[in-house]
Amino acid sequence: MSLAIISPGRNPKVWIDALTFHEPEIDIQVYPDIDRPEDVKMALLWQHPPGYLSTLPNLKLISSLGAGVDHILSDSSIPEALPIVRIVDEKLTWSMTNYVVMGVLNFHRQITRYQADQQRKVWDMSKPEIPVKVGVMGVGALGGDVLDKLSYMGFPVFGFGFSEKRDFRYPYFPKDELKDFLAEINVLVCLLPLTPDTENILNLELFKKCKPGTFLINVARGKHLVEEDLIPALDQGYLSGALLDVYRTEPLPASHPFWDEKRVQLTPHIASVTNPQAASPQIIENFRRLKANLPLLNVVNRPKGY
């Protein structure tokens, strides 16, 4: 009974080391060198070749190597009955929150304008704190923690999502109330899962419903944002700036207009990176539960897409 790592283009060594540290006897096979496909019962996936899983006749469980599973669900060849689990990692949440809070505070304090002043040796105190109300799209483990931390720091916060939620601990807007949600806020954080409902949700039509000068933070998936709509939304004043960590094509191509756009701050998909040491115990635990036929951890709801 072996575990397959199918993560083309990434170095699997950190995962092998971490998994072996937690379960020294584990039998791991790594794509493309899977010599005994019939032994593979569980597969760890990150951007696997679509259709490849049909070569594993005894596969019983799929695990994402991260929090997202859009890269798995987009492969329509995967049988409906095959369970999918994902990584739920406090460290992932912690990193994501710190990144988003950093982005909110840098906007609130106008730090990039002070940085520009320093370069020109200008002493100008007249950049006051921008009053900030933060709206988070997607209020799961990640979005909920962002809301908790920003609320504790004293910022008004609002949630938005695709489910009805009663008694949520902050003001919450379901999908039919997107316009009301956007009317409350001036910082928009996208932490949605990528599903057919949410793909391309950050588009010019949405930006036109924002308060003028809203600041966008996208830390979810590149496909949430219609990239060609961002600079027009800035030019037309719906948005005043953006902090992006994810892109439709990664690495971001050198020819992409975002690189040169001063109003857009870029980071290279580092807001929250799955840590193999932190994630391995739950992968091992699911591998054991699979063997023992026990209920799995962090199972994905496939119709919902997360």
CB atoms within 10 A of CB 99: 19
| Least spacing, CB of residue 41 vs its own copies, in Å | 32
Burial class (CB in 10 A: 0-12, 13-18, 19+), 168: middle
Residue whose CB is less far from its own copies, 81 or 254: 254
Assess whether 221 carries a catalytic annotation: yes
| Of residues 270 and 299, the one with the C-beta less far from its own copies | 270
Name the DSSP letter for residue 110.
Answer: T
- Rounded CA gap, 182 and 173, in Å? 10
Give the number of other Cβ atoms within 10 Å of residue 259's Cβ. 11
Six-digit token string for 32:
């493309």
Q: Which of 86, 108, 221, 224 is catalytic?
A: 221
Give min distance, CB of 22 to its own copies, in A.
21
Nearest CB to its own copies, comparing residues 196 and 253: 253
71, 109, 269, 289: the active-site residue: 269
Binding site for its own copies (CB under 8 A): 94-95, 97-99, 101-102, 105-106, 108-109, 111, 114-115, 117-118, 121, 123-125, 127, 129, 149, 152-154, 250-252, 254, 259, 265-270, 273
Give me the amino acid identity at 26.
I
Closest approach of Cβ 67 to its own copies, in Å?
A: 17
Q: Cβ 185 to its own copies, closest distance in Å?
A: 18
Whether residue 104 contacts residue 157, with contact meaning beta carbons closer than 8 Å, is answered with: no
Could you tell me the smallest distance in angstroms from the CB atom of residue 301 to its own copies? 29
Q: Which is nearer to its own copies, 98 or 203 (CB)?
A: 98
Q: Where are the alpha helices (DSSP H) in the chain?
A: 13-22, 70-73, 90-108, 111-119, 141-152, 178-184, 204-207, 230-235, 276-292
Residue nearer to its own copies on the CB measure, 62 or 92: 92
Taking each helix axis from N to C end, the angle separating 13-22 and 276-292, rounded to the nearest 10 degrees, works out to 60
Confirm whether 71 is a catalytic residue: no
Residue 299 is classified by DSSP as B
Q: What are the residue numbers of the active site?
A: 221, 269
